[in-house]
Structure 1
Amino acid sequence: MTSQLLGGLVAAVLLATGASAPSAAATNPPEASAFARRPAISSVSISPNGEHIVAVISADGKRRALAIWKADDLRSAPHVVGSDPRSEIIAAQFIKNDRLFVTTQQLADFSLSGTAERSYRTRTQVLDLEGNPVRIGLKFDGLTDEQQQFVGIGGLVSSLPQDPQSILVRDPMRGDTYVLNLYTGRSERRERGSDRFSSPQADLNGEIRARQQVDFDNGAAYIAQWIKDPSGNWAEHFRWYARDRKPVSIAGFSNDPNIIFVSHVEGRDHDAIYEYDIAQRKLGDVAFAHPLFSASGVVRSRSPQDFGEVLGFSYEAERGRVYWADPQMEAAFSQIRAALGVRDVAVDWKDTATGQVARLNVGEGADIDIVSYTDDRSKFIIRKAGGSLPPEYYVLQHGRMSLLGRANPELREAKLGPVSLVQYAARDGLTIPAILTKPDPTVFGPGPYPSIITPHGGPWARDELDWDASGWTQYFATRGYAVLQPQFRGSEGWGQTLWRAGDGEWGRKMQDDKDDGARWLIEQGVAAPDRIAMHGYSYGGYAAMMAAVRPNGLYQCAIAGAGPATIDLFKKGTYNSRFLREFQHPTANGEDPLRRIGEVSIPIYLYTGDRDTRVVPAESRTFAAALERLGKPVQLRILPDMEHTINTWTPENTEAILTSIEEFLKTSCGPNGL
């Protein structure tokens, strides 16, 4: 990749995509189906030689299919491969120039253990460029025919970029790894799995060089990181204890068989990536560290000219980012970003741990990711998306950019609201990050607006400044609501200080952070003081239940999706694992909304899926029944064939969630609706 190849790219974008001045948006907000649909395009990948492109598509927004284009003939219709009537394609990627690794999903009453379990299963297979299944003779030891059919060819460990015919896969039950020839169908076991070891990691040559062991030291649970040295000998190199919560992991490999990259957080608030000398068993220099965010991985070249060289380092910022160390990749990224009209907005960012303020530049409304590229780095697949823009996929080749497709084409002309990265101070002074989505002021005026506080699940999770696939933020912004996603204490991905501050604070300081976010919205003139609700899912559903309990008068109503009515369910789940018993179980203490049911003072809407195995529907049913006995206003909806995670939601269920929440807010939230 050279800068000459990208010359004139801005003009090429306008020519290739047919960009023009947008027409006036319709005055009516977009239908719920525009947000709830299956993405019209997702999971886009280009072949290593750049001759073909594959994506998962959905023309009608309901059923998904596979589309395969000839890269040099994008004007022609792709070859489309439909999903099986019983299962659905959810992901695809090139593993060789003419072989695709495809994942499907199916609703089933079967689990790998053989017991009946009403849930969704995933299966993997290999297809050729015509969409035909490749005949594979793989049979994992110890699996019944039904179990083998269930898992397909197992998990992809390595595409073996230097092997033109084979890949490395792993049996998800026993942990054995196999070299699988995609053209003869033959397989050979590379390494046996073990009850002692898990999480095998292969280098670019396909050699398993790292694995982990869960064990106990005088009853204390720990994870040991084992590494294979250049002579082929395994040894334990690192050990981190569950109770300390300071993970050490292998972030990547280098071309030097004695040097690997290790992710380490000791002595820092954010993970850094170090070089590690296997022979000397010693951490060396910091290979990459960001002053404000955690480093997470290493990006290496697959080009024959510089195979295995480090191209960049990934890190967790306001969204997943890559620091491109390779000058050509950095130049390409910057020029593509400019060509696609990404503008930066400056944010004064206060570090939660140190209190130091730095200037952070983030994309205004959207940003780009290079999601796939050829081995020689001459052709790229670009994803452009953000809080105000549903994903768009572009192909850059021969110095020209072409639009491949939009995930939510019905929203192209919609008046979506501005989204920004913000921070506010909790009542004890802790700095809380948040993502704020406001209605379009040209449609709804300058505010204040009716507002929704939307805490994420987990609670060890986080939100990103990216398109919200659930639709919860922009659906309500297009209806005049402001939405705040607080990254409350206990959230992961923003540093150790914020994460650990949530220990034992369920329904207490963690809840204060959400309430303080509501008060901050009022102070900023964003939220109307008497028109605020809370809507959360999973742990966020628990938080919404607690919002109904708290006697602070902040909220007019609460909406709880699949929320645990007590902490007991979470604590039992973490206690049953000896590792989680020390890692997460001690942090889950606080208030139980069910035990304070008599204090509920606002209307609440509960919804959950009938197939939810993570937070069983009985949690919502029990909470609703207790409220009904007390004569308190409550609504309950059980959605059919819905599991806990969003990948199992049908468009019909997603649409039902959006529209039923909207109806509840209008008709049942507070005295006059929200």
Structure 2
Amino acid sequence: MPTGFFLFYRVTNTLEDNVRKFLLSCVAAIGVVGTSLMATPSLAAKPYPLEYWAAPSFMSNLEVSPDGKYVAFRKATSQKGDFIIEIFETSNMDKKPVRVGAESMDLRNFSWVGDAEMVVSFRGQVSDKIKGFNQGAFKSKLALYSVESGDFKELNADDFSLSLANPLVNEPDHVLVQYVSFSEGQAFRAPAYYRYNLKRGTRNLVLKGNSDLRGYRFDVDGNPRFAVDVSDPMKATFLYRPVGGSGWTPYYEQSIDSPEAFDYAGLVQGDDNLIYVIAHNGEDRTSLWKYNLSEKKFEEKVYQHPNVDLRFTARHSNPYTNPGEVTGVRYFTDNFHTEWFNAEEAAIIRQFEEVIPNAHFVRITSRSRDGNVLVIQNIGPKDPGTFYLFNRGQFSKVGSSNGLLKPEGLSDVEYVKWTARDGKTITGHVTKPEGAGPFPLIVMPHGGPFISETILFDPWAQMFANNGYMVLQPQYRGSTNYGLEFYKAGFIEEGEGGKAMQDDKDDGVKYLIEKGWVDPDRVAMFGWSYGGYAALIAASRGDDLYQCAIAGAAVADNTQQVNYYRDRIRGWQEVEQIGFWDGSVNPIDLADQVDMPLMILHGTIDQRVPLRHAEKYINALESAGKEFTYVELEDADHFLDTLNYDHMTKAYPAMINFLKKDCGPGGL
């Protein structure tokens, strides 16, 4: 197994080695402005090879350096990833780029911190076994890279952990870093914050951490301005420090028993005494408020959406000239929508939307100090993620996250609503395959379950649709984003897992059948994590709505799962998690009632839902004489970004084969 030790290297070849097989043979030159990708089959001919969907993100993390001289991105050099960073000079994008990478560890991401310096993060597997719930087999490292010298400097050591806390836009040669020191077998200590000199490698203390304070926020000059006092186990006290001040002053208190949000959302320009917060303030849905620090009160409701919660504020695209300026607030329904406060920023985005093909969620992700070099990203149902460069008046495409997936083979997504059997309004997203219905349907509930699902480009839904299946992603009760009452309906009386939350999904199926979109005799459920739990419930619920189920990384034993949490949480989180899992239907108790074809997938080093869940459930199925299909994913963790090419190329064909051949009479 990997040891976690890593070596940096500078890539000087042209990547003509034998790892460039299959997927890269389809790509002319990913990541160079003006290049094109080799044509791939249209859906009319046949679905894309499943390997296309398993491909890593070929291009990600595109950023321009502060002076606009360089643009860099993380690039996959093979179908398995093998990530490097490519660094281009914006004045001559045809010039051969600088390529940097790492041995033995996975290059995860980077961030420009100076005109020629970037901080790069790495992650490597150090064990093939987890150490317990949410404890496992991976180790991370951080390093500083200089484009000018070509040298790496490791920023971590065995006795401390370091992370980037804040770029200092007014001090190009400095960044703010967080140090957390620790000793083997001891808990982490309070962090300390230093101003780190990129040129000299020296540091000066800015703030010595306090074990009672969390969530430090610093201004553009690296001055500590906000923190949260957690010394009282029953409440959180929000603190601020005036510009030029030295002491902390409380401005808001919140009981840990409260489910309401109170989230810092930015400074109000021109008044150091006012901040923006996204908060409930006694209402069902969150709003954007102006909050008075010295008077400790909500002053003005700036914006509230009539149906959904607000998600976060938009900030000015130029962090150097307008650092931290709030330019709008965003909410999500069928897409991210922005209520703009800054007309100029809104106009810039609208102009890019007019020229970008299949524009959906368009945003500026990086901008130079002088404002003349911009990176723009689009992502949506017909675009897995494309990056563009606006370079001093010239607009061009840089590349795509996955150029193998052409728009003509991707599906539209429609935002739908239906009425559950108890009268509650439920929303969902339907991914539509090509052709005329009614279609076979896959119901794909999100994990969590108490999260807000944001569907921009969903590779699983698109993969199923590309193979002829309609996909429903229901936002069942218990999902966040739709107000407190809707969220609490998943667990506040008792856990509704396997009960009303399951009804919401089933009622969505019936709605699509009534619309004539879905063949009632060809319906399946596939989910991951809580979604896998829901698939196990569907398999044993005793109705005839589904023909089969696929459960990935599923919570199969509620008691086992909730025992991970009992000693770790308190307050409202305890009400949520303990109340839900203790009160919901337990799949393992119903294993003998499974009455349809069932596939189970699980990773061997899943840290969030350990493999023991699958093992116990399989034993229960075998004891009951039930048939099933089991796919074990070696060295797979729980979350999507930990599932690699090998995991996907094992899981995808197994799932499609199962659906077509084993899902009910004649297959799905």
**TM-score calculated relative to the size of structure 2:** 0.86
Alpha-carbon distance, 1:295 to partner: 4.2
Q: Is the 1:25–1:413 Cα contact (8 Å) retained in structure 2?
A: no
SS in 2 for 1:427: coil
**What are structure 1's unaligned runs of at least 5 residues?**
1-15, 140-144, 343-362
Inter-partner Cα distance in structure 2 for 1:587 and 1:114: 22
Q: Is the 2:37–2:404 Cα contact (8 Å) retained in structure 1?
A: no
> 1:199-278, aligned counterparts within 5 Å?
199-216=215-232, 221-230=234-243, 231-255=245-269, 256-278=271-293
Alpha-carbon distance, 1:634 to partner: 1.0
- Larger mean CA deviation between 330-339 and 406-415 belongs to 406-415
2:195 to 175, 179, 186: 179
Letter in 2 for 1:25: S
Q: 1:161 to 1:111 in 2, by over 3 A?
A: farther
Alpha-carbon distance, 1:547 to partner: 0.5
Q: Which residue of 1 aligns with 2:643?
A: 649
Q: 1:590 to 1:583 in 2, by over 3 A?
A: closer
Inter-partner Cα distance in structure 2 for 1:639 and 1:64: 22
Q: 1:528 to 1:48 in 2, by over 3 A?
A: same
Letter in 1 for 2:608: R
Alpha-carbon deviations, 1:287-328, whole Å to 9, x = none? 444344314235147566555543333444444454442222
Alpha-carbon distance, 1:18 to partner: 8.2
Alpha-carbon deviations, 1:582-617, whole Å to 9, x = none? 454334321101112222111211111111121111
> 1:329-368, aligned counterparts within 5 Å?
329-342=345-358, 366-368=360-362
Alpha-carbon deviations, 1:446-486, whole Å to 9, x = none? 11111100011111123223112xx3111111111111111
1:489 to 469, 477, 482: 477
Q: Is the 2:446–2:453 Cα contact (8 Å) retained in structure 1?
A: yes
Inter-partner Cα distance in structure 2 for 1:379 and 1:397: 5
Letter in 2 for 1:521: L
Q: Which residue of 2 aligns with 1:92?
A: 110
- Larger mean CA deviation between 471-480 and 495-504 belongs to 495-504
Inter-partner Cα distance in structure 2 for 1:531 and 1:237: 56
Inter-partner Cα distance in structure 2 for 1:163 and 1:308: 16
Q: 1:121 to 1:111 in 2, by over 3 A?
A: farther
SS in 1 for 2:122: strand
Letter in 2 for 1:507: G
Inter-partner Cα distance in structure 1 for 2:352 and 2:232: 50
- Larger mean CA deviation between 69-78 and 483-492 belongs to 69-78
Q: Which residue of 2 aligns with 1:577?
A: 568
Give the % identical residues.
27
Inter-partner Cα distance in structure 2 for 1:118 and 1:577: 17
Inter-partner Cα distance in structure 2 for 1:322 and 1:337: 14
Alpha-carbon distance, 1:277 to partner: 2.1
Q: Is the 1:242–1:583 Cα contact (8 Å) retained in structure 2?
A: no
- Larger mean CA deviation between 401-410 and 202-211 belongs to 202-211
Q: Which residue of 2 aligns with 1:438?
A: 432
Q: Is the 1:56–1:91 Cα contact (8 Å) retained in structure 2?
A: yes
Q: Which residue of 1 aligns with 2:616?
A: 622
Q: Is the 1:161–1:302 Cα contact (8 Å) retained in structure 2?
A: no
Q: Which residue of 2 aligns with 1:634?
A: 628
Letter in 1 for 2:425: T
Q: Which residue of 1 aligns with 2:93?
A: 74
Letter in 2 for 1:66: I
1:165 to 157, 166, 173: 173
Number of aligned residue pairs: 617
Letter in 2 for 1:497: E
Q: Which residue of 2 aligns with 1:599?
A: 593
Q: Is the 1:47–1:96 Cα contact (8 Å) retained in structure 2?
A: yes
Q: Which residue of 1 aligns with 2:556?
A: 565
Q: Is the 1:41–1:57 Cα contact (8 Å) retained in structure 2?
A: yes
Inter-partner Cα distance in structure 2 for 1:110 and 1:163: 43
Q: Which residue of 2 aligns with 1:461?
A: 451
Q: Is the 1:239–1:248 Cα contact (8 Å) retained in structure 2?
A: no
Q: Is the 1:536–1:542 Cα contact (8 Å) retained in structure 2?
A: yes
Inter-partner Cα distance in structure 2 for 1:112 and 1:118: 4
Inter-partner Cα distance in structure 2 for 1:65 and 1:324: 37
Q: Which residue of 2 aligns with 1:25?
A: 42
SS in 2 for 1:179: strand
Q: Is the 1:109–1:117 Cα contact (8 Å) retained in structure 2?
A: no
2:343 to 327, 336, 352: 327
Letter in 1 for 2:519: A
Letter in 1 for 2:236: I
Alpha-carbon distance, 1:129 to partner: 1.9
2:409 to 415, 423, 426: 415
**Aligned CA-pair RMSD:** 2.7
Letter in 2 for 1:483: V
Q: Is the 1:301–1:310 Cα contact (8 Å) retained in structure 2?
A: no
Q: Which residue of 2 aligns with 1:360?
A: none
Q: Is the 1:109–1:116 Cα contact (8 Å) retained in structure 2?
A: no
> 1:266-305, aligned counterparts within 5 Å?
266-293=281-308, 294-300=310-316, 302=318
Inter-partner Cα distance in structure 2 for 1:418 and 1:176: 48
Letter in 2 for 1:166: H
Inter-partner Cα distance in structure 1 for 2:527 and 2:41: 33
Alpha-carbon deviations, 1:126-167, whole Å to 9, x = none? 21226844446x67xxxxx4244xx4xx22221011112111
SS in 2 for 1:458: coil
Inter-partner Cα distance in structure 2 for 1:114 and 1:457: 21
SS in 1 for 2:209: coil
> 1:32-51, aligned counterparts within 5 Å?
32-51=50-69
Alpha-carbon deviations, 1:246-295, whole Å to 9, x = none? 02122122453322222211233332222222222222223444344314
**What are structure 2's unaligned runs of at least 5 residues?**
1-32, 181-187
Q: 1:305 to 1:410 in 2, by over 3 A?
A: closer
SS in 1 for 2:657: helix
Inter-partner Cα distance in structure 1 for 2:317 and 2:400: 29
SS in 1 for 2:46: coil
Q: Which residue of 1 aligns with 2:72?
A: 54
Inter-partner Cα distance in structure 1 for 2:125 and 2:279: 39
Q: Is the 2:134–2:608 Cα contact (8 Å) retained in structure 1?
A: no
SS in 2 for 1:121: strand
